[in-house]
Amino acid sequence: MNPISPLPSPSSSSSSSSPQTPIWVYSYIKLRFFNRIRRFLRSKTPKKPYVSPKESITPPSNEVMQVADAGWDSNCGIGGGADISAAALRMTVKKLHFGSWEEKEIAAKMIEKMSKEDVKVKKLMVELRVVPALVSMVASDAVGRPEVAVKALLELAKGSFENKALMVEAGILHKLPRNIQAMDESAKHDFARLLLSLSSLINSHFTTALQTNESGIPFLVEILDSTSNFETQKCCLETVYNISTVLENVGPLVSNGVVHTLLKMSSSKGLSDRALAALGNLVVTSQGKKEMESSPLVPDSLIEIMTWEDKPKSIELSAYILMMLAHQSSEQREKMAKSGIVAVLLEVALLGSPLAQKRALKLLQWFKNEKQAKMDPHSGPQTGRIVIGSPVNQREVREGRKMMKNLVKQSLYKNMELITGRASAGDPAKLKNLVISTSSKSLPF
């Protein structure tokens, strides 16, 4: 057997009689070889699902789809720490817009969770119109649906002025539930938090919506009257304060009985600062002042607040409201005098904060002499000013001064006993200074 002869080398082939093979032939062969390898590798990878050209968002990957499916199956829980993609959000939004009511509730929970975990999701909500869909769920009478939607709206409203404005423009104030008595404390608290968050738009969208709405303020006041939860009451009072800062909202607030509610809430030391601050905004208007003057709680409740030693802010606010009520109203001053306001004002003028002392002294000036002609115009101008030149009027002035001096002296003796007893437990030097500073010479009259 003859041995196999080796293949000719390129050098030998070039020297043979056959023509030389061009270099481009070798390049072509290599290119075809790599193309076949590439097609072979592609055939081994799983095919991607078909995506319609109308889709504006890239299709979800297998990992994201598994995360989303797990979320729907496990009551909206997202596990594994996987990132929430736009595709998963889009699938949730589809359920919110076109799914059944059960799917809408699950989608709302998913949106709430996604908003907590990723701030960027809130920006996508504007384009995907999630806010109007959630607002429409608030108007549903089904049990549980409004509460789920409100929780999602609360998360979307955090730190996003645009989302808050969208909620108001979508008519959230017109779609509040009417049957508040059927709501539990948790649902009332969520609604109170949402209204408080929206009230930050008081100078723009929120004010306009309130003026064209007949259920927003009554809904808020009814929650405030019906709830016993302290945090819910605080949220409602802060919302009422924000609303009361706009003059156009005073009328609807007064007509819905908010003055009486605020006066009741002011008797609670934990809520007094917020309630009195809102009353301070209302008392500067004729409607608010008239409503307070007709309330049976005025002025006794406000005078009682001025005796709270541990609530200096409440004392200042109460003194301010009493000043506004006593201004140009002899009837209110008479009611206050019968309620023992002079003794309380003396104590505040001696022991209160600088602002409270200033307001108490101003009130004491008004009570000093109802017919004094030298009272400044800004210090509560009185009706029926006296004429100094008349002998009869001079005698009335002297009698009035003598009567007021005796009244002040009696009140001072009683209050000095109380003040001395309080200060005796402290530094004797402080007591000495207090007695000197509270002598009759230091009084404004």
Please report the pLDDT score of residue 306 as a whole number.
95
At residue 24 the predicted structure's pLDDT band, cuts being 50, 70 and 90, is low
Distance CA 27, CA 358 (A): 100
According to the model, what pLDDT value does residue 422 have?
A: 60
250-306 pLDDT, tens digit per residue, is 999 999 999 999 999 999 999 999 999 999 999 999 999 999 999 999 999 999 999
Q: Which of 382, 289, 391, 284 is nearest to 329 (CA)?
A: 382
Full 3-state SS string of the chain: CCCCCCCCCHHHHHHCCCCCCCHHHHHHHHHHHHHHHHHHHHHHCCCCCCCCCCCCCCCCCHHHHHHHHHHHHCCCCCCCCCCCCHHHHHHHHHHHHHCCHHHHHHHHHHHHHHHHHCCHHHHHHHHHCHHHHHHHHHCCCCCCHHHHHHHHHHHHHCCCHHHHHHHHHCCHHHCCCCCHHHCCHHHHHHHHHHHHHHHHHCCCHHHHHHHCCCCHHHHHHHHHHHCCCHHHHHHHHHHHHHHHCCHHHHHHHHHCCHHHHHHHHCCCCCCHHHHHHHHHHHCCCHHHHHHHHCCCCCCHHHHHHCCCCCCHHHHHHHHHHHHHHHCCCHHHHHHHHHCCHHHHHHHHHHHCCHHHHHHHHHHHHHHHCCCCCCCCCCCCCCCCCCCCCCHHHHHHHHHHHHHHHHHHHHHHHHHHHHHHHHHCCCCHHHHHHHHHHCCHHHCCC
Q: pLDDT tens digits, residue range 385-399?
A: 443 334 445 666 676
pLDDT tens for residues 152-161? 999 999 888 8
- What does the pLDDT read at residue 60? 35
Task: Give mean pLDDT, residues 406-428.
Answer: 64
Tell me which of 131 and 413 has the higher pLDDT: 131
Predicted local distance difference test score (pLDDT) of residue 22? 67
- Reported as a pLDDT band with limits 50, 70 and 90, residue 92 is confident
Q: What residue has token string 């709302």? A: 108
What is the predicted pLDDT for the residue at 427? Answer: 53
Instruction: Reply yes or no on whether the pLDDT at 71 is more than 50.
Output: no
Distance CA 234, CA 273 (A): 10
Q: Is the pLDDT of residue 11 over 90?
A: no
> What average pLDDT does range 183-209 have in this prediction?
86
Q: How far is CA 290 from the centre of its chain?
A: 28
Answer for the pair 281, 320: CB distance below 8 angstroms, yes or no: no
Please tell me the distance from the alpha carbon of residue 124 to that of residue 77, in angstroms, as a whole number. Answer: 21
315 has pLDDT over 70: yes
The phi, psi pair for 382, rounded to 5°, reads -100, 160
What is the pTM (predicted TM-score) of this model? 0.66
Average pLDDT over residues 39-58: 46
The tens digit of pLDDT for each residue in 332-378 reads: 998 999 999 999 999 999 999 999 999 999 999 888 855 454 444 44
Question: Contact 382/370 with Cβ under 8 angstroms?
Answer: yes
Confidence band of 179 (pLDDT split at 50, 70, 90): confident
> Would you state the pLDDT for residue 282?
96
Among 36-50, 72-86, 179-193, where is mean pLDDT lowest? 72-86
More confident: 75 or 149: 149
For all residues of the chain together, what is the average pLDDT?
Answer: 75
pLDDT tier, 83 (very low <50, low <70, confident <90, very high otherwise): very low
Confidence of residue 439 (pLDDT cuts 50, 70, 90): very low
Confidence of residue 175 (pLDDT cuts 50, 70, 90): confident
Residue 322 confidence (pLDDT) above 90: yes
